[in-house]
Amino acid sequence: MATAVTAAVSFPSSKPASLPSITSIISPERITLKKVPVYCRDVSVGGRVVSVRAQVTTEAPAKVVKISKKDDEGVVVNKFKPKTPYTGRCLLNTKITGDDAPGETWHMVFSTEGEVPYREGQSIGVIADGVDKNGKPHKLRLYSIASSALGDFGDSKTVSLCVKRLVYTNDKGELVKGVCSNFLCDLKPGAEVKITGPVGKEMLMPKDPNATIIMLATGTGIAPFRSFLWKMFFEKHENYKFNGLAWLFLGVPTSSSLLYKEEFEKMKEKVPDNFRLDFAVSREQTNEKGEKMYIQTRMAQYAEELWELLKKDNTYIYMCGLKGMEKGIDDIMVSLAAKDGIDWSEYKRELKKAEQWNVEVY
Ligand SMILES: Cc1cc2nc3c(=O)[nH]c(=O)nc-3n(C[C@H](O)[C@H](O)[C@H](O)COP(=O)(O)OP(=O)(O)OC[C@H]3O[C@@H](n4cnc5c(N)ncnc54)[C@H](O)[C@@H]3O)c2cc1C
Ligand SMILES: NC(=O)c1ccc[n+]([C@@H]2O[C@H](COP(=O)([O-])OP(=O)(O)OC[C@H]3O[C@@H](n4cnc5c(N)ncnc54)[C@H](OP(=O)(O)O)[C@@H]3O)[C@@H](O)[C@H]2O)c1
């Protein structure tokens, strides 16, 4: 009945982690009956809850009719627009990369008082204080939400981000600081922050609690997956109990830039059968050929297994982070599919249509 966080780890929170209860919309459960599994699913249709049953035999797996995650009732988009943003407050802001890491990444929590109702996988916009070189207010920048819908304090009243401080040297040799990322990484507790959104439906989680969810992240692309994984493994929900397989691949430059490592390791300890975790540390690890360990290099070590998983219609791939990763991952898929005489681009198109291939890279 009540919803409760079962573990909150490595997170510098001083608030208690008790959660309010939430109402169930869809509650699937599996009943095993004489070796023939029967899937019962309560589906909300026009406000009524209808029980749908599908009997699955081992010979011919029945296709379960999927409800598009994008049609889910209650997914809010663009509640707050740039001209009328929500003003939250920074509750905490902490650097989560080591001092010797190339670049800084910060984890920050903002108050929303429940006014910015988001789902796992959505993003918010942030408008930095100040004006641009033309004297106009800064344009918003998008950031993937790094907390579950319940938020890091479990009260549905906060939203968290994972932000990399952008600093680079331009052609003239000058040090340039990115406007919004520096604004955010420098925010002190108590400071105000202008929030827009929430936005985005591409990265919403699949509904099937028995799904295989493969998450591919580079750097701060980890944000939506922290959000997924908290919901799956650190929280209790009346209407959702994850019982499938979550497999996270995270690519970072150095071990000192591994984001949320302790949290993920805690999850692994807690649910070893439901969670797999693989890191690709590009500047410290190589494969057997001596090649740099990018996320796709690590994935290639499990190529056959990943390909078999991709043939199941309840396997969902999510990709987030650097734009360059998409091509690297496509390249390994092309050759795997070709072994089975399958054209990868066509296959990927079908996966996308079925919401099994979800990409948000930038
Ligand atoms: C959907 C989405 C989600 C995102 N989620 C996150 C997230 O979770 N965390 C996160 O940290 N970021 C995220 N981003 C990126 C974020 O929106 C900003 O783009 C980023 O923080 C930089 O903004 P800024 O204002 O600091 O930099 P700006 O002041 O906007 O400067 C960026 C500009 O600087 C220039 N530039 C950048 N690097 C270099 C370089 N090396 N050499 C020369 N010029 C350069 C480019 O012109 C670039 O457009 C996301 C982006 C999108 C679209
Ligand atoms: N929703 C979204 O669209 C979203 C959300 C969050 C973040 N982002 C974006 O994601 C990016 C993350 O950057 P970051 O600075 O946080 O990451 P980072 O800490 O620099 O880590 C990125 C990792 O990816 C590696 N890499 C570089 N090129 C690659 C390629 N072609 N294929 C696979 N791996 C590659 C890097 O290796 P080397 O550096 O050693 O080469 C490094 O190990 C940012 O551009 C951010 O804006 C987008």
What tens digit of pLDDT does each residue of 171-212 get? Answer: 999 999 999 999 999 999 999 999 999 999 999 999 999 999
Q: Which of 284, 322, 329, 358 to mutate to test the pocket of ligand 2 (most atoms within 8 A of CB)?
A: 322
Q: Is the pLDDT of residue 280 over 90?
A: yes
| pLDDT band (50, 70, 90) for residue 301 | very high
In the prediction, which pLDDT does 68 show?
Answer: 82
Residues 156 and 135: beta-carbon distance below 8 Å: no
Ligand 2 centroid to 251 CA: how many Å?
8
What tens digit of pLDDT does each residue of 322-349 get? Answer: 999 999 999 999 989 999 999 999 999 9
Percent of the chain topping pLDDT 70:
82
In the prediction, which pLDDT does 73 show?
Answer: 78
Q: Is the pLDDT of residue 117 over 60?
A: yes
In the prediction, which pLDDT does 65 show?
Answer: 58
Q: How far apart are CA 337 and CA 214, in angstroms?
A: 17
Ramachandran angles phi, psi of 247, nearest 5°: -130, 115
Please work out whether the CB of residue 315 comes within 6 Å of at least one atom of ligand 2: no
Q: What is the DSSP letter of 327?
A: H
In the prediction, which pLDDT does 18 show?
Answer: 34
Question: Quick one: average pLDDT of 254-278?
Answer: 98
- Could you tell me which residues come within 8 angstroms of residue 36 by beta carbon, excluding any fewer than 6 positions away? 55, 56, 57
Q: Which of 86, 143, 240, 260 is catalytic?
A: 143
Q: How far apart are CA 348 and CA 346, in angstroms?
A: 5
Q: How far apart are CA 294 and CA 298, in angstroms?
A: 6
Residues 125 and 159: beta-carbon distance below 8 Å: no
**Per-residue burial over 101-121, b = 16 or more CB atoms within 10 Å of its CB, e = otherwise:** beebbbbbbbbbeeebebbbb
What tens digit of pLDDT does each residue of 25-37 get? Answer: 223 332 222 222 3
What tens digit of pLDDT does each residue of 40-96 get? Answer: 333 333 333 333 333 333 344 444 556 788 777 789 999 999 999 999 999 999 999
Task: Specify the ligand 1 atom closest to the Cα of 143.
Answer: 5
Q: Is the pLDDT of residue 217 over 70?
A: yes
Residues 124 and 142: beta-carbon distance below 8 Å: yes
What tens digit of pLDDT does each residue of 342-353 get? Answer: 999 999 999 999
Q: Are strands 105-111 and 175-177 parallel, antiparallel or unpaired?
A: unpaired
Residues 177 and 164: beta-carbon distance below 8 Å: no
Question: Quick one: average pLDDT of 151-168?
Answer: 98
308 or 39: whose pLDDT is higher?
Answer: 308
Question: Quick one: average pLDDT of 105-129?
Answer: 98
Task: Specify the ligand 2 atom closest to the Cα of 164.
Answer: 16
Whose structure tokens read 């948000």?
Answer: 360
Q: How far apart are CA 287 and CA 240, in angstroms?
A: 38
Q: Is the pLDDT of residue 17 over 60?
A: no
In the prediction, which pLDDT does 66 show?
Answer: 66
Average pLDDT value over all residues in the chain: 85
Task: Note the Cα 155 to chain centre separation in Å.
Answer: 20
In the prediction, which pLDDT does 8 show?
Answer: 41
